[in-house]
Structure 1
Amino acid sequence: MFSWRSEVRPGVWVAFTNAAAGNLALHVGDDPEAVRRRRGRLADAAGLGSSGFRFMNQVHGNTVVLAENDAPEEAPTADALVSTGEPLAVMVADCVPVVLVGDRAHGAGPVLAVVHAGRPGLAAGVVPAAAARMRALGATGLSAWIGPSICGRCYEVPEGMRADVAAIVPDAWCTTAQGTPGLDLPAGVRSQLSDEGVTVEYSGGCTREDEDLYSYRRNQHTGRFAGLAWTTAPAAAAVAG
């Protein structure tokens, strides 16, 4: 069910699922009830019970939304979710799933975030936008976990697209294994996190190369796996910001 899972701080967990967890997306033509059952099993495996994870309607933008505990059934349209205790999920199948955790003063509990960093979102700055929103909630000492995504060796793009993205995020510029223009999205994410002073604790492998993961480039009729953040401590009240 999990390709990687760890208690990254006392009572704070980060994980990335794999294909064994099944498709977790409602927008890929799968049976919605089957997707909800899989999400329920995932919540049980994380020890969340009926509360479950908060998902987004992802649109390749840079909108960051605070996940509040008074609207658990609503999936906001965004590409980053931030919370002060609500369990969070981001869905991908080649884009970069980023999970961030920060601390608040005086034992107020963690600030969590998940980010969907595809090519448009990377260029639009969704990663630094999420870090800024976390800090607005009082988070310090931010750390990040970068889940599996398509690597630069495998992500071929037109020359003009490479130039456009690299003009904004230079570290994303690369050449594929075939010698064609490419984009290294994980490298671009790491550079943005570094610029924000965020420590990267983990970085996953390539979705296109690992058949235990979903990859849109390998198969366009595919599901979505998830990056997850949750805490086993009592959820803190959401803070406006």
Structure 2
Amino acid sequence: MNAANTIPAAERESAATTSSSGPSSGHRLLLLEDDEQLAQLIQRFLADRGCDVTYAANGNEFMKAIHHREYDLIIADVVLPDASGFQLLEQFRSQLSCPLIFLSALSSVDDQVAGLRLGANDYLVKPVDPHLLWAKIEAQLRLSNSQAAPVASLTFGPLVVDLVSRQAIVHDTTLSLTTNEFDLLQIFAEQPARLLSREYLFRRVIGREFDGLDRVIDMRVSRLRKKLDAIPGGVAIQSIRGRGYSLNTARD
């Protein structure tokens, strides 16, 4: 696929000379695209509109990216060197809370229908005008924001996390949690049974990138785990060495 056919000449010139110094939209996007040249052009175009774009060149990088961060929207190619965008969506759709737009050279009606039936929010055929791509992105973000109703509580098995009173209850027993412990438990309860990397938790809890040395997340997880383990038949935090932690229902 020729990236030059996807971005018009005038836009290519603009993308090559602009940077992400424009006003920030605050949108966090994940771009899955194996054509590096095209990916760079799309990144620059979106960065010029204030987006924070994470780039994944293949399925393996995509899986790492979604485990390390949350996104407002995903743009995904279908034909990848190590996977199919359709297969990735089918495998991870239940774990993705954001819209996904396919951007692919596969132009048949059958391919487009297949992508939408798998749960994609839109399907664009390459080459696509970047302004149309941006309009589609904005439309999906507006729809996503309008549907996001405030959540008062989170429930997972016998665990109830009340976000208003900031209390956590397991089997009618209220946990005695510090502010930091409650914030950490809320993150786990938002994505139960999902493996959350130390890098992701550090970014959510501390608000900056993990330096590879700070053990504050491990210590907070350890303290929270002890309090959860004290209630039989409740929930438990499981760890996978070198990969991260996940909240699961406790095994008797």
- TM-score interval, smaller chain: 0.3 to 0.5
Greater strand share, 1 or 2?
1
| TM-score normalised per structure 1 | 0.32
Normalising by structure 2, we get a TM-score of: 0.31
Higher relative contact order (CA 8 A, sep 6+): 1
Structure (1 or 2) with the larger CA radius of gyration: 2
Q: Which has the higher helix share?
A: 2
